Structure 1
């Protein structure tokens, strides 16, 4: 039986959430918006346009959105050569791939950013495919990116697990009928991940790898 292990990237496999927070905070500040860093952190994981709607409201002038997103992208790009993987991220992906899982990255990152993230994780040999929010009409927390990821590898929802660090990941998984596994390394509290639908929560990729045999992934037989 084919099985799919879907993974968010920022905050799940790479230690990058706070870099996004700083980049969005500065981009917003440059455009005259005062948004607390904690509010920005809660929106990380949403596609750029949805993140701005979440932080600034949908009923607003969207004229400056492209400039805001471009400022964030420029600021974040200064970190590309310093992006760090979370502990055992590559080892976790390889362990699953070696066990016959199809590993798919489900991310909002595109082009240069995605390449930088994949360089940081350094496990391309274990990655089957990548699904991005640009491939679908709606990004997380809609189920569309999860459905698209499953379509890429020809696996059904009941034979898949989605590992992520944000409530948006867990909601997308739940809405797609996929088991969600939460990680705390992105900074989201356990209670929020569980409330959003996580079947189990672990500290980081290293913790999940160490407890793989007792995790929801072990319940999907090869």
Structure 2
């Protein structure tokens, strides 16, 4: 269920943030967890191939990496194994440098802030505790809020709905090709960050209008970014 403290109305401006690999340094942990889950069921999938698809929903990732003629009855078990292996790394999760400050600066400027994540609800709760930024977050989505995972735009649509906001008034920040494609499907300007391990050229090819090294780099350039342009439109106190 979408968590929201937002009042209704369509005139708000705001920023949607992916979480894994964008605000939390977890992309390679997910890669390792998927690698281990595949091996538990006899599939030797290279980590490099897995990493390129992190950010997709689990069912899409499994379907793209395993042979079409496999025993699909195992897919749910593989996804459950990934979840368990990832959970074993919860104590190691860390916020990326500048993540909390970036959320705080957007909030202080009057923009609505939503976490547009397709993580499991429990994983999202853990990552929010790591961020320690709930005071700056107006809404958050989890895997329960979308029929289709990224690159489908369902998660972003759910986040927009939770904020009572139109796509034309939003900017999205993410680290994966699938984030860029999901935002492009709704006509939302997408800012890419390379801290999840995906190269700038790949993010731009997928639709990123700007690319930064991570939250700190974006924060340092906030005024000239797509977020800065939204901030400039906010009414002055």
TM class by smaller structure:
over 0.9
Task: Give 1:106-121 correspondences, 5 Å limit.
Answer: 106-121=116-131
The yes-or-no answer on 1:80 pairing with 2:90 is yes
The yes-or-no answer on 1:51 pairing with 2:61 is yes
Match of 1:169 in 2: 179
CA contact 2:121–2:143 (8 Å) conserved in 1: no
- For 1:57 and 1:96, the matched residues in 2 are separated by 44
Deviation at residue 4 of structure 1 after TM alignment: 1.6
Q: Structure 1's 144 and 59: CA in aligned 2 closer, same or farther, altered over 3 A?
A: farther
1:190 to 197, 200, 215: 200
Match of 2:8 in 1: none
Q: Alpha-carbon deviations, 1:80-138, whole Å to 9, x = none? A: 12210000100000110111111111112123211111111110111111122321211
Give the TM-score normalised by structure 1.
0.97
Match of 1:155 in 2: 165
Stretches of structure 1 that go unaligned for 5 or more consecutive residues are none
The yes-or-no answer on 1:208 pairing with 2:218 is yes
Give the TM-score normalised by structure 2.
0.91
CA RMSD after TM alignment: 1.1
CA contact 1:163–1:180 (8 Å) conserved in 2: yes
Deviation at residue 61 of structure 1 after TM alignment: 2.6
1:99 to 101, 106, 109: 109
Count residues with an aligned counterpart.
222
Deviation at residue 218 of structure 1 after TM alignment: 1.6
- For 2:134 and 2:74, the matched residues in 1 are separated by 36
Q: Alpha-carbon deviations, 1:53-72, whole Å to 9, x = none? A: 11114554310011111111
